[in-house]
Structure 1
Amino acid sequence: MDKINRRVLTTGLLSGAMSFATAGIAQSPVPAPATQFAGFPDETNTGPVAHTIFQDYTGNYEVRTDNAVVSGLRVTGAIVVHANNVTVQNCIVNGSGQLWCVGVPGELGNKNLKVLNCRLYGVPVKDNHDASHLLDGVYNAIEVGFCEIYGCENGVDGGGSLYMHDNYIHDFADWGEDHDDGLQTYGWDHTGGLRVIHNTIVGIETGGAFSPTHWRGSSSCLALSEGQFDMTIDGNLFFGGSYTLYGPSQHGASPVNVHVTNNRFSRRYYPRCGAYGTHSGFNRNGPGFLWSGNVWHETGAIIPP
Structure 2
Amino acid sequence: MSLLAAAAVLGATVTVVVINREPAPAPTANAAPVSADVTLESSLWKSQKAVKGKARSENTPLELGTRFKASRNGEVAGVRFYKPASERGTHRGSLWDSDKKLLAKVTFTDETRSGWQQALFSEPVPIVAGRVYTVSYHTKHGGYVAAPGALADPVTVGPLTAQAGVFAPSAKGAFPFRRHRAHVNYWVDVVFRHRERRPRPSAQPTGGVTAEPTASQPEGSPSPSPTLTGQPSDGVTSTPTTSGSASPSATPSNSGTSTPTSTPTRSSSSSPSASHSPKPSLTPNPTNQPTKVPSSTPTRTTTPPPTGGFPGAADTGVPSGTTLKQSKSITITKDGTEIDGLEVHGEINVEADNVTIRNTRLAAAPGDWGIIQRQGHTGLTVEDSEIFGNGKERTQFAILNQGRDLTVRRVDIHTISNGILTEQGLVEDSYLHDPKYFSGDHTDMIMCTSGPPSGATLVIRGNTVINTLEQTGAVALFQDFGVVRNVTVERNFLAGGGYTLYGGAGSKGTSSNIKVVNNVFSRDVWAKGGYNGPVAYWDKGAPGNEWKGNVWEDGKVVPEGG
User: Does TM, normalized by the shorter one, top 0.5?
Assistant: yes
Q: Pick from 198, 214, 220: which aligns with 2:473?
A: 220
**Residue equivalent to 1:241:** 497
Question: Separation in 2 of the partners of 1:228 and 1:175?
Answer: 28
Matches within 5 A, 1:69-148: 69-105=338-374, 108-125=375-392, 132-140=393-401, 142-148=406-412
Q: Pick from 321, 325, 336: which aligns with 1:51?
A: 321
In terms of fraction of residues, the more helix-rich structure is 1
Question: Separation in 1 of the partners of 2:495 and 2:531?
Answer: 10
Q: Does 1:155 align with 2:410?
A: no
Question: Separation in 2 of the partners of 1:244 and 1:16?
Answer: 19
> Given the two structures, how large is their TM-score scaled by the length of structure 1?
0.80
**Residue equivalent to 1:196:** 460
Question: Separation in 2 of the partners of 1:186 and 1:19?
Answer: 17
Structure 1 counterpart of 2:280, one-letter code: A
Question: Separation in 1 of the partners of 2:545 and 2:48?
Answer: 29
**Residue equivalent to 1:176:** 439
Offset of residue 29 of structure 1: 7.4
Question: Separation in 2 of the partners of 1:111 and 1:234?
Answer: 24
Structure 2 counterpart of 1:47, one-letter code: G
Please give the secondary structure, in 2, of the residue aligned with 1:99: strand
183-192 or 35-44, which deviates more: 183-192
Offset of residue 165 of structure 1: 0.6
Offset of residue 287 of structure 1: 0.6
Question: Separation in 1 of the partners of 2:499 and 2:322?
Answer: 38
Offset of residue 68 of structure 1: 1.1
In terms of fraction of residues, the more strand-rich structure is 2
**Whose Rg is larger?**
2
Of all paired residues, the percent bearing the same amino acid is: 26
**Residue 279 and residue 99 in structure 1: after superposition, are their counterparts in 2 closer, same or farther (change >3 A)?**
same
**Residue equivalent to 1:32:** 280
Q: Does 1:304 align with 2:547?
A: no
Offset of residue 99 of structure 1: 2.1
Please give the secondary structure, in 1, of the residue aligned with 2:367: coil
Residues 351, 377 of structure 2: 8 Å contact kept: no
Question: Separation in 2 of the partners of 1:301 and 1:24?
Answer: 27
Q: Pick from 542, 545, 549: which aligns with 1:289?
A: 545
Offset of residue 231 of structure 1: 1.2
Cα deviation code 1:202-259 (max 9, x no counterpart): 111xxxxxxxxxxx42410112122211111000001101011112113263222111
Please give the secondary structure, in 2, of the residue aligned with 1:304: coil
Residues 16, 218 of structure 1: 8 Å contact kept: no
**Residue equivalent to 1:278:** 534
Q: What is the total number of aligned residue pairs between the two structures?
A: 268
Residues 242, 274 of structure 1: 8 Å contact kept: yes
Residues 16, 219 of structure 1: 8 Å contact kept: no
16-25 or 252-261, which deviates more: 16-25
Please give the secondary structure, in 1, of the residue aligned with 2:353: coil
176-185 or 95-104, which deviates more: 95-104
Instruction: In structure 1, list runs of 5 or more residues that go unmatched.
Output: 1-14, 126-131, 205-215
Structure 1 counterpart of 2:49, one-letter code: G
Q: CA RMSD in A?
A: 2.6
Residues 16, 243 of structure 1: 8 Å contact kept: no
Q: Pick from 488, 501, 515: which aligns with 1:232?
A: 488
**Residue 23 and residue 295 in structure 1: after superposition, are their counterparts in 2 closer, same or farther (change >3 A)?**
farther
Residues 460, 490 of structure 2: 8 Å contact kept: yes
Instruction: In structure 2, list runs of 5 or more residues that go unmatched.
Output: 1-13, 17-40, 51-253, 258-278, 282-303
**Residue equivalent to 2:287:** none
Q: Pick from 277, 290, 311: which aligns with 1:41?
A: 311
Offset of residue 55 of structure 1: 0.7
Query: Could you list the runs of 4 or more consecutive aligned residues of structure 1 that deviate by over 4 angstroms after TM superposition?
Result: 15-21, 27-31, 187-192
Question: Separation in 1 of the partners of 2:48 and 2:425?
Answer: 29
Q: Pick from 500, 505, 524: which aligns with 1:268?
A: 524
Structure 1 counterpart of 2:420, one-letter code: V
Question: Separation in 2 of the partners of 1:19 and 1:219?
Answer: 14
Offset of residue 190 of structure 1: 6.5
